[in-house]
Structure 1
């Protein structure tokens, strides 16, 4: 029934009407919150429905979502019942869904500053979480949902070279690592953080002296390497965390300097968690994990 109802809304022109209303009232927070929530529900009820996505994008749904995040999803009113978190949470999910495997939409998100809006929202949410001591537990859970959606969006959006470069230049990697440190026991946050880092660490230029076409990757410090190991330790039975972390470590091993950092700064933890990943999920993790172990072998063996 829900899928049929959502399809009827799309077929009867409901999406353009809704988006037009949001355009006419950009400063009305409750309206923006309700509108983004409804749009998210429409996409959720119709996964893979390209007609639904086309209806959203043709009526400037991307631009409207970005504007809502900039206007209402960055600076909180410090009211726990405000739509601040919901606008950011739903806005991130909408951009994530609309950008997934769609180069034209990614370009529109890039031009509209969508990644910057998400990054600013993440930082604002973290600041509020740290400042509001009295509602720490409530804010932690709420912040976890927001950051999980934001990380998922960053993972998808950073497949666009311009977005990836912009995120790196504006503290995107540092922001992802900080979120990891604030939510160590959230499997969804750790999974999506590793996924986001796996795209962000890839530099756009190719190795000039290599005929193999291997990509050049960024360097991560010892603290970041330990955080990846901690994520794998805390979520040893969660396949998605192990898979994304192994992929991230595999990419990082494209740089010998990263291998040295893993060897010298993690006290053997990387090797131990990789062995655990192989034992738990051999079909998903063995190839990438063994590659990393072999690269580190000259020190460990």
Structure 2
């Protein structure tokens, strides 16, 4: 059996390679859907191809399971496990909290963080946001940065469609730190220090609630509607006005921020990997 995870193009290609060799495929994080093949692009089609090829489907939620059943996947081949991203996050968080040397290194790496300001962590890389979308996002960040009570950290994706507009519009602004992309451990540390997170990422939508961080989703649609329905996240799209409005609301309204921070993450309890292994052993 070949196990694939998520909705990247490498996941799709691996499914095809396994299919050509007549090897059984198991898909982890199966059943996520927006219903729009161009949002996110190309991930929506990648995961639909994975579903078409896979024999075993490890869905993170009941909603994802229903999506698969609606596409005529046999119910007995679908297993609701939670998502492994939550497992990884909990593992790394425990490591950061228990390893004094590691924590000292992280404190040194991010020594410029001002504990007296509210930290906003930004990530952005989504293809459908290239062009005007990223320009709007950058304009929103520039506007928010004028507040004296915030600090913005943005690990900038290396894709020129991201890097060029971000650096041209945000370099040198007060309260904005543009940094190189991060490995997972320091990124988890930054998430843990953030007051709120602005992102167009899929995985971050699951990680943020696990850490008690409100997440604003800079996309027009999300394949993770459970986050929005639970109240842990808000879809803001790439409208400059909407992004600025929702960020200011969370910065100014402590009650709203607290309410979003204490919502249970619908994507798992950190035991997805164990459930997947147990099912594979049964198979």
* More RCO (CA 8 Å, sep 6+): 2
TM-score, normalised via structure 2 length:
0.28
Q: Which has the larger radius of gyration?
A: 1
TM-score, normalised via structure 1 length:
0.27
